[in-house]
Every structure is written in C-alpha cells, then in structure tokens.
Amino acid sequence: MYDRESKSTDRDAGQMLLATGVVLLLSLLSMAVFSVKVAGITQSSDTSSNGVIQTTSEVIDAIPVLVENRTIVWVDAGVERLDAAQLSIDSVHDDLLHHGEIRGVEVKILDFIFSDIDGSSMLITGQLGVSDSTTTLQSNVSFIISV
C-alpha cells in the first residue's frame, strides 16, 4: 500500500509542476500581448495610409464651391461682399474642423486674404493645413469666386 501511495504522490507532484508551468507560460504570454498593445498605443493610424494627402485633395477641390455658395447667401442677406467671404471661410473652417475630427485628421484654414478683383469677383488666398498623428501637410490655396 505504501508503494502505491508513493506513485500517486509523484504523479500529483508532476501534475502540479505541469500546471505551474502552464500558468507561468500563460502569464508571460499575457504580458507579451500587453506590451505589444502598449508599444502601439501612440500609433493610432496606419503609417502607410494616405489619409492626409487624400483629405487635402478633397478639401482643395471642395473649398472654392463651398465658399462661393456661402458668400452668395450672405450677400443676398445684405452683408458686404468681403465680410460675407470672411464669414463663409469661417463657417467652412468650422465644418472642416468637425469633419476632420470624425475622420481622424485635423483640417485648418489659415491666414486667408480676400481681394476684390472687379466688383463681381474676389481672389481668395491662404494656407490649408491637414494633419493626423504622424503626418502634417500644408498647402497654399488660391481661388476666385464670383459674387
């Protein structure tokens, strides 16, 4: 009977040792996964993506039409042309800033200057800044609106 108890105790000790090894292995694996997640926490977007370039292109294409249409609305409401253009740029900037937050990029309209050309057209020039967590792109923007 004593011989049988000895074999049972050895088997139990072996199982306990195996269980301890498995728990240790799972703990190490868990820490490794956590470390990889923490290491990638500052990299919220794919660095190979072209979101900033694509957003800049879309904004440069859309901004003249938006500003012209909003300026027309303000002028029809009785606001002076240059003031209407400034109000339009400000409202487009606010909309683009909010749109960028949704997409994960920041869109800024900076230092826009309004010049009256001939009483029915305005030259608008300025800078557009688009950035995400890894990339920043500044572009000069210039367009003419008819109001």
pLDDT along the chain (147 residues), means of 10: 62 84 82 64 53 86 92 93 92 82 80 90 92 87 92
Query: How many folded domains does the chain comprise?
Result: 2
Nearest CA among 64, 58, 78 for reference residue 122:
64
Does one domain contain both 122 and 141?
A: yes
Quote the pLDDT of residue 102: 66
37 and 55 both lie in a single domain: no
Q: How far apart are CA 12 and CA 113, in angstroms?
A: 83
pLDDT of residue 7: 62
The whole-number pLDDT of residue 86 equals: 92
Full residue range of the structural domain in which residue 26 is found: 1-41
**17 and 66 part of one domain:** no
Assigned domain for 17 exists? yes
Question: Is 135 inside a domain boundary?
Answer: yes
* Whether residue 71 is found in the same domain as residue 107: yes
100 plus 63 within the same structural domain: yes
**How many C-beta neighbours within 10 Å does residue 112 have?**
21
21 lies in the same domain as 64:
no
CA atoms lying within 13 Å on the CB side of residue 26:
6
Identify whether residues 119 and 90 lie together within a single domain: yes
46 within domain boundaries:
no
Helices and strands, counts by H and E, the chain: 3, 3
